[in-house]
Structure 1
Amino acid sequence: MSDTPNTARVWAIELAVCLATGALMGVIGPFGSFFNDVLAVRIAYWVSVFLICGVTLRLAIRVLAPRARRAGVPVWAWAPAMVLALGLPLAGITRMIAIAIWPGIRQGVSPVDWYGQTVLVILIYGALHATLVRRLESPASPQPVKTGAPHILRHLPPRLGSDLLCLSMEDHYVRLHTERGSVLVLMSLGQALDELGDLDGLQVHRSWWVARRAVDAVIEDGRNLRLRLKGGIEAPVSRASVARLRSAGWLDGRAAGET
C-alpha cells in the first residue's frame, strides 16, 4: 500500500472502483448473502459496504503512509496492523447495516465471523488500491529530457512535470516527488544520487535528498529538525546533517516552531 495523489481524479477513480466491486459482489452474493434477498438489495448493500470500507481505508492510508515513510517504517510493518484495527469499527458499522436489512443476521452470523469477513473485504479493497497505485505511478512513456539535463528526470512521467523537489527511499525503491505528485522507481538512493547531475540540493537524511529551492521552512521540534517543502511534503533532517545544512546556509533565518 502507498499513498496516491490526493486529487479529485484519484478519488473519482477509487470511488468508481468501490461501486463496481460492490455491484459485482452483490451479483456473486458472497458469505451467504446470495440467499438473503433480491439482486437490487444485495447490490445496494455491498456497494455501501465497499464505499464505507474503501473510503475509510483510503483516508487511513493517506494519514499513515507518509508518516511511516518519514520514519523509515516499511509497509509490511504497519499495513497489517492498520487492517486489523480498522476491521473492528468497520465490522460494527457493516453489521448494523446488515441487521437493519436482514434481522436474521444477528443470530445467523457471530460477531467474530463477521469481523473476519470484514477484514477480508478490507483486504480485497487493499489489493484494488495497490493495483490502482501501480497504474497511476507507472509512467506510460519516458519523460523527454533536454540534452545536458540531469539523468534522474527521465524517470518522471509527463503528468508530474520535471520540477524535482526531493527523493525519498522506500525499501528497494526511490520515490521522486514534484509539486504535482510522486512516482516510485526501482533503484537505490545511491543510484538516484548519481543521476542528479548538477541539481542544487543535499542529502538531508540517509533516506532523503532535497532540492534547495524546494525548502519553504525549517521546523524545529525539540532537538529534531524537519524541512517543509513545496507541496506540503516534510523531510526529516538527521542530526549528522544539521551542521552541513547550516554551513550551506539552508537554516539561516528559516526556522519555524512546531505547528
Structure 2
Amino acid sequence: MNNFKNFFAKANKLPLIINLIIALILAQIAPYNSNDISNFGLRFLYWASICSVSWFAWVIINSWLENKLKWPYFFVGALVTFLMTIPLTAYIIILTTFVFNHTLSPQFMTIFWVEVIATSLCIYVLIYVIVANLTKTDQTKDNTTPNPHFLKNTKGKLLYIKAEDHYLRIVTSHQNKLILYKLSDAIHQLNTSDIEGMPIHRSYWVTKFAIKNHVKDGRKNLLQLINEEQLPISTTYIKQLKSKAYI
C-alpha cells in the first residue's frame, strides 16, 4: 500500500490547486446555506478556508499515524479522515458562528459532526478508489517490458535472429529481412523483453515459440522450427536447452 502513501505525499505539494478547485465548486453550488453569503468572493474564501483546514489537519494526523499503525492503508486513511473531522467540525462551528452570528445548540453540533464524518468518509473513499486506479495503471506501465528496438517495423512473431557478418537476419512468422545490427546488442534487448528465447549457437538466438522439436542428423544436433527450417545447435547449449525444457 506504499503507492497510496506516496500519492498523498506527492499531493502535499499541490494543496493550493486542490483547495482552489474544491472551494470554487462549493462557492458556486453554495451548499449548507452558504448562499447566505451573497458576495461570491467572500463565499469562496469561506469554503477555501474550510478546505485548507481539512487538508492540513488530514496531513498532520496522517504523518503521525501512518508509521505507527500496521493496518492496510485504506483503514489507516479512514481513521485519519475520522480524526480530521474533529478539528474540522470545531473550525466550521466557530467560523459559522462568526460569519452568520448563529448560536448552535449541543444537539445541533453533534448532528452536524455526524454529517461532517459521513461526508468526509465518502470523499475519502472516492479519492481512494481514484488513486487505486491511478496507481494500478502506473504499476502496469512500470511492469511493462520494452519491445526490442531492433524489431521496430517488423511484422509477425519473432522466430529467430542470425548474425551474418555485420548484419542481423530477422526471421518472423511473416518476414525474413536483414538489418545492420550487432547480434550481441539484439540479444541484450531481447533479454530485457518478454520474448522468451535463448542462444543455440554463436550465430543464432531462437524463441521458444519457434521450436518444434530436436532432431539429430548423424552427430549434428538440429532444431526443427515451426516454419520447417532447421538450425544448428552448439554442443555447449544442449544442456541449457534441455534444462529449460526447450527440447
Bin for the TM-score computed over the shorter chain = 0.3 to 0.5
Higher relative contact order (CA 8 A, sep 6+): 1
With structure 2 as the length reference, what TM-score do the two structures score? 0.47
With structure 1 as the length reference, what TM-score do the two structures score? 0.45
